[in-house]
Amino acid sequence: MGRQSDARERLVQAAVQLIYARSYSAVGVQEICARAGVQKGSFYHFFPSKRDLTIAALDELWRGLQERVVGPAFARDVPPLARIERFFDQSARVQREFMEQSGQVLGCPLGNLALEMSTQDPLLRARIEALFQAAEQQIAQTLEEARQDGSAPDIDPAGAARALFAYMEGVLLMAKTRNDPECIRELGRNALALVCGSTQAGARIVTQE
């Protein structure tokens, strides 16, 4: 078996699944190798360290997220603001599936790793931050579309996207903590309030008091 093999891919996939289901530190190299059907020595042929595998897994995580959740939710077959709402429904659906399979809501794989690793590994942190920025830009684009077609004329797309993304992460954190996928749906109903009530609105309410 000289040239090429899919062992590397299998390792990344195994890492994605195991780390998402548990966490970085709760999953050992041994276990990742076992699930991938790869010997431990081979692991270190493909990756210099567990951390490097995790970085590779991060990109694969992002790819899978786009394919299975973000892509379907943000498809252009409905008006922009409806896509935002659909993201929450889509997320609720996915998490409900995890719930039925393993009895646990797993939340956002990037958010999970972000909180676990940000204070421990600067490179990992920076990588996740970059992916977060990409996500925000995706949302900002959608909001810009909504601004232009008149469904949300007065918003600041970039600022609202930041707030909205933070809210999404918060909602998924709550769902994981409550172990209840339904609260994603419920909390999702408040999402558009965050978009349309822009900065000025917030300030107005306070000074009025």
* Residues of the shown chain interacting with DNA in the complex, contacts defined by CB under 7 A: 1-5, 7, 27-31, 38-45, 48-51
* CB distance 59 to 107 below 8 Å: no
- Work out what residue 76 binds among a second copy, DNA, none; the CB cut-off runs from 5 to 8 Å by kind: none
**Partner in contact with 51, chosen from DNA, a second copy, none, beta carbon below 5 to 8 Å by kind:** DNA
Question: Are 155 and 146 a contacting pair, CB within 8 Å?
Answer: yes
Residues 4-33 that bind a second copy (CB under 8 A): 21-23, 25-26
Q: How far is the CB of 174 from DNA (least distance, A)?
A: 28
Write the CA distances from 13 to 2, 113, 173, 193, integer angstroms: 22, 16, 23, 37
Angstrom CA distances, 202 to 147, 193, 207, stand at: 19, 11, 9
Please report, as residue ranges, which positions from 72 to 101 form the binding site for a second copy (by CB under 8 A): 79-82, 85
User: Shortest distance, CB of residue 18 to DNA, whole angstroms?
Assistant: 10
The tokens 């965050």 sit on which residue? 194
Q: Mark residues 147-186: x for contact with a second copy by CB under 8 A, - for none.
A: ----xx------xx-xx-xxxxxxx-xx-xxxx---x--x
Q: Which does 19 bind (CB under 5 to 8 A by kind): a second copy, DNA, none?
A: none
Stretch that binds a second copy, among 5-13, 33-41, 68-76, 189-197 (CB under 8 A): 189-197
- Asked if 24 and 61 count as a contact pair (C-beta separation under 8 A), the reply is no
Class of residue 111 by CB neighbours under 10 A (exposed 0-12, middle 13-18, buried 19+): middle
- Residue 37: how many other CB atoms lie within 10 Å: 11
Q: How far is the CB of 4 from DNA (least distance, A)?
A: 4
Alpha-carbon distance values, 57 to 11, 79, 113 (Å) = 9, 33, 11
Helix (H) or strand (E) segment spanning residue 147: helix 122-148
Contact set with a second copy (CB under 8 A): 21-23, 25-26, 79-82, 85, 104, 106-107, 111-112, 114-116, 118-120, 125, 128-129, 132, 151-152, 159-160, 162-163, 165-171, 173-174, 176-179, 183, 186-187, 189-194, 196-199, 201-203, 205-206, 208-209
